Structure 1
Amino acid sequence: MSGGDDDFEEVEKDFSPEGPGAEPEAEASIDVEYGIEDKPPLGESILLGFQHYLTMIGASVAIPLALAGEMGMPGGATARLIGTFFVVSGIATLAQTTVGNRYPIVQGGTFSMLAPALAIIGVLASSGAGWQLMIRELTGAVIVAGLVEVLVGYFGVMGWLKRYMGPVVIAPVIALIGLALFNVPQIQNPNFGAPGTGQNWWLLGLTMVLIIVFSQYLDRYHRSFRLFPVLLGIASAWIIAAVLSVVGVFPEGSVSYVALDSVTEAPLFQPIYPFQWGLPLFTPGFIVGMVAGMLASAIESFGDYHSVARMAGRGAPNARRINHGIGMEGLGNTFAGVMGTGNGSTSYTENVGAIGITGVASRYVVQIGAAVMIVVGYFGPVGQLFATIPAPIIGGLYVVMFGQITAVGLSQLKYVDLDANRNVFIVGFALFAGLAIPGYMSNVGAGMDASASAAFQQGLAAVPILGPVLGTDVVATTIFVIGGTGMAVGGIVAFFLDNTIPGTREERGLTAWEDLTEDDSDFESFWDRRKEDTEATQSAD
């Protein structure tokens, strides 16, 4: 998909504060090497784009593997599902960067919609359904959730809410995006201690140290360390792991093993096309659960947009840009359903972290990376090579990136009066609730035969008077999914308190926020640009 030649227009590099990709009134949280409008040389852009996608390989592989494992998918179908995630990610990213909000932000599978997907699979598994039926049910639920998000975006719901969401709300939301992911399997392996499967902390630590050394210590000595710390760190750790796997130090099946033979055995081409698993099925209870996951994802994306703008040295996104971004994410979700991922499409927090580490916020770079991902999805060996990256290496990358995202979120508080007790209370309470409530949700039903969502529904059904309403599939699933998503919990808590506890607009940071928000004229939609081009052509004739 293309927004025209102007989307890829060559922009001369300018490192001055007033140069491309920077606004005088906006403060960048980092030194921006390439701004949003900058276009590095093609060879450099390919490597930078490849690096952007390396940061989200963990999620792009982990989500389909989790779905395939729960559904009992055979090996060939699992490989094609992973390839489908790559293709959808590439196409959705091109659409978002050219037609959507035009931020340099990668689109891909979302953990927020993984929770309801696993709940749906659990319900179907209890009735003896096969994986073909499960993926068709997931497909239908994702398609409807995407269409709902299209309405939320293009009818301006998120943009309207922006006027009530200042730094006191955005800071905990962004911080929780990073903090809520401290316990992902790549960092805290749940099988720690099991023979051959426990976490390899030295490999994780090696990756983490390499990225830190390249990005924070050696960056001043050579530009390559500044631009490619993630690529260099992951590649170095992977080579070491591959060598140790070949010589037998890492046994086959261990968490650190690099299965090089899987690359040569992968099919050269794998077919990926719409409705490849069959026509979608639409079950109301499943749809509501997926919509709840989508809403949590939209809140996360709202925070991601502000985080990207901050890192790129731009003013906070205006309402129009937010609406177009959320609307395009809805189209991306619908497309993901049509292609059969069984999961949605959203802004990748990992990509935001990569911008913070490298200072590369170029839209062109992300588009190049998106094109690479589309190719990777259809050619099995290349995609399988990505999949050989051991989980500890991904974990080391996550430790660095998610910490950066957390700090960017907290940096929003510079616009807030932290001497005002109401602000300190709101931020602290929202952060704690955003960690504690999802932690509780994950432990519901521990020791019971029922799944966490089923046990939670049983508990709500037992509530006096309100039980018949709270215990329904629709209500229970919605509360469970949103309550299990940290940034959604923190955002809702902060939003309610910030708009009900008395405080001046200056105290809340809303005045400073308005001054930093980009003008409406700073964002031109795809259709605005096409209209201008048409009018210019007609005038010339």
Structure 2
Amino acid sequence: MSFEKGQSGEKSTPDPSTTSSFDGGVKKVSGIDADSETCAPPLHLAVNDVPDAKGMLLFGCQQMLLCISGMLVLPFLVSDIACAGDKTIELRVQLISSTFVASGVATLMQTTFGLRLSILHGPSFAFIPALSVYKSLPENTCPYSRTDQAPEDFWMSRIRAMEGSLLISSSCLFLLGASGLVGKISRMVGPLCIAPLMVLLEIGTVPTLIEKMSLHWVSLVEFFVVILLAVILEPYAVPIPYFSIRKRKIQFTRARIFGMFPYLMSLLMVWFLCWILTVTNFEPPEGEARTDKNQTVEVISNAPWFHIPYPGQFGRPGIDASLLCGFLASAFACLLENLGDYEMVAKVSQQRHPPGAAVNRGIMIEGLGSILAGAMGIGAGVTTYAENIALMHITRVASRATMQVAGILCIIIGLFTKVAAVLASVPDAIVGGLLGIGMAMIMGVSISNLRTVNMQLSRNVAVLGLSLLSGLAIPDYFEKHPPKTGNATVDQVLITMLSIRMLIGGLIAFILDNTVPGVTKFQRGFPPAGEKHAMVPLEEDGYAFPPFINRIFNRFPFLSYFPFLPSQADLKKTIAEEIVAKKSLENQPV
């Protein structure tokens, strides 16, 4: 639905009965209220729909552009923790390139073999608290500045420690999905577990946010420009001129570009501001907002045009016990976060509740994607990006093909190292602003998980309050009074585990929500007991595999015993529907 600014300066809403939208060659008219919860507006493109080439490229590019800012944050943080001295920018280029490739591959695997809904993967912010605690340990302080020449073995050992620790924690995520335990865990994890964990995740990231945003005032400019574009100007449609070949004249179309590309537009605008500050010398030499730092220019000029990131590019993985424990907690947080995201994308895509086999496959593929990210040395696992699900809700385009195109575009960007080098030259302060607005959006989504919980019950209020308070108080206490067991390794592990707020609060919320009696599952935010999801036609089922894959599964019945593959009953039902659909197609008059 488009909103235009009338002559009076007020926002005028067109008549819903005559509202039309044009996307990717598919035009549909909608007269349904978009805010209605009982009747969702029809999708322009459903999960199994494939738009024309132009629409597929445009929608895929839009989804890819939306996630660029999120993919920049982790490489910047990891390169700082590595403490590579004058090699920091060069390392950052390599990490950005690897991040785009790993995210693109994970997206393709998830949309093709995993959940099979439109999901885009990127590095997870859930790993930031563990990385922050690892960085804050006395033995991990950085003794080198950006101009110092740090020994390669020094910073490479840190990258390898992140690499090996992430490989082990991601393997646990893969095994949880492959064994089917995720399906059992999901029946015990409700909004009262997810909400405090995600809120505490954001609170635990605040020190990193303050560190980045305090570098320069342009971080505040970036923060408020995103708010201006994504919140205030989002409903306004902007006239865009184009030349019509058929009519041979310039015409105008209206699009809500502020709501479609707020992160990218704000990044370019503030980056341009930094360039102006640089050429006018308003920013002092070596200032945090300058775009002509010698290291940055040298890295861009020396970076190869094409490079293929590969697993093991930083050498043999190492292991750090404290970081491993922190990453295990982060992987658990990712698991809970993804369960909520799967529900969200199913609703936006107008699909039934995700079946157990699809959820197990989804988590298994997320584990594989995180293993790939770890092997490439990225320093953080991958997760589902909720921002892309929100964009699907706005555009009402849930096509799997468009997200697969987005994954391919991510891989292409990662292979062209010059592009990664240019992205690595973004001032750190701008990344701080992007991190701030990203945290704010995730915080809002986290709190919105409680909308299905009956918060008038004192039991639910107590569970929420106790978990949040414990997640805030216990880490602060042990930060001032660290445990002393006499063993340095054990002390590091305990300090790391007891300093991660989301682990403490999430674990307490999980225990209390599943042990304190007095409420029904519905009052805890779960769907009504015995609720059945209506079966959908095969051509509309986003979780179903292609017919030839189903026939392979049916030919080898033992495959159905794997918890991440369809059961024999589901396969027989699916194949029967395929036969009926094929016969009805053959009987249609020519």
CA RMSD of aligned residues (A): 4.4
| Corresponding position of 2:232 | 213
Kindly report which structure 2 residues correspond to 1:524-535, keeping only aligned pairs within 5 A, or say none. 524=543, 530-532=549-551
Do the aligned partners of 1:100 and 1:525 also contact (CA within 8 Å) in 2?
no
Do the aligned partners of 1:106 and 1:348 also contact (CA within 8 Å) in 2?
yes
Given candidates 419, 432, 437, the residue that maps to 1:382 is 419
Given candidates 281, 286, 300, the residue that maps to 1:248 is 281
Structure 2 residues without counterparts, runs of 5 or longer: 1-23, 142-150, 240-253, 555-574, 583-590
Aligned mates of 2:352, 2:211 — CA distance in 1: 39
Structure in which a larger fraction of residues adopt strand: 2
**Aligned in 2, Cα 1:168/1:90: closer, same or farther, shift over 3 Å?**
same
**Aligned in 2, Cα 1:267/1:409: closer, same or farther, shift over 3 Å?**
same
Matched, 1:326 2:363: yes
* Structure 1 length-normalised TM: 0.75
**Aligned in 2, Cα 1:494/1:103: closer, same or farther, shift over 3 Å?**
farther
| Corresponding position of 1:421 | 458
**Aligned in 2, Cα 1:396/1:427: closer, same or farther, shift over 3 Å?**
same
Do the aligned partners of 2:351 and 2:542 also contact (CA within 8 Å) in 1?
no
Aligned-pair distance for 1:514?
6.5
Given candidates 103, 107, 128, the residue that maps to 1:89 is 103
What letter matches 2:440 in structure 1? G
Aligned to 1:499, what secondary structure does the other structure show? helix
Kindly report which structure 2 residues correspond to 1:127-206, keeping only aligned pairs within 5 A, or say none. 130-176=154-200, 181-185=205-209, 188-189=210-211, 192=214, 197=216, 200-206=219-225
**Aligned in 2, Cα 1:352/1:482: closer, same or farther, shift over 3 Å?**
farther
Aligned mates of 1:488, 1:11 — CA distance in 2: 47
Deviations 1:212-260 (A, max 9, x none): 2332445896343443333333333333333333333344533333348
**Aligned in 2, Cα 1:358/1:61: closer, same or farther, shift over 3 Å?**
farther
Aligned-pair distance for 1:406?
3.2
Aligned mates of 1:230, 1:74 — CA distance in 2: 25
Aligned to 2:515, what secondary structure does the other structure show? coil
Given candidates 221, 228, 247, the residue that maps to 2:261 is 228
| Corresponding position of 1:57 | 71
Do the aligned partners of 2:463 and 2:509 also contact (CA within 8 Å) in 1?
yes
**How many pairs were matched up?**
498
Aligned mates of 1:271, 1:355 — CA distance in 2: 31
Structure 1 residues without counterparts, runs of 5 or longer: 1-9, 446-454, 463-470
* Structure 2 length-normalised TM: 0.70
Aligned to 2:83, what secondary structure does the other structure show? helix
Aligned to 1:496, what secondary structure does the other structure show? helix
Do the aligned partners of 1:93 and 1:370 also contact (CA within 8 Å) in 2?
yes
Do the aligned partners of 1:353 and 1:402 also contact (CA within 8 Å) in 2?
no
Aligned mates of 1:189, 1:125 — CA distance in 2: 17
Do the aligned partners of 1:293 and 1:482 also contact (CA within 8 Å) in 2?
no
Do the aligned partners of 1:83 and 1:377 also contact (CA within 8 Å) in 2?
yes
Aligned to 2:455, what secondary structure does the other structure show? coil
Do the aligned partners of 1:211 and 1:232 also contact (CA within 8 Å) in 2?
no
Deviations 1:293-352 (A, max 9, x none): 323332333333334445555555443332222111111122223333344333345545
Do the aligned partners of 1:166 and 1:513 also contact (CA within 8 Å) in 2?
no
Aligned mates of 1:39, 1:230 — CA distance in 2: 27
Aligned-pair distance for 1:46?
4.1
| Corresponding position of 1:495 | 510
Larger Rg: 2
**Aligned in 2, Cα 1:39/1:174: closer, same or farther, shift over 3 Å?**
farther
Deviations 1:460-511 (A, max 9, x none): 527xxxxxxxx6846962x554544444444322221111222123322334
| Corresponding position of 2:520 | 504
| Corresponding position of 1:42 | 56
| Corresponding position of 2:384 | 347
**Aligned in 2, Cα 1:222/1:79: closer, same or farther, shift over 3 Å?**
closer
Do the aligned partners of 2:260 and 2:391 also contact (CA within 8 Å) in 1?
no
| Corresponding position of 1:467 | none
Structure in which a larger fraction of residues adopt helix: 1
Aligned mates of 1:182, 1:81 — CA distance in 2: 23
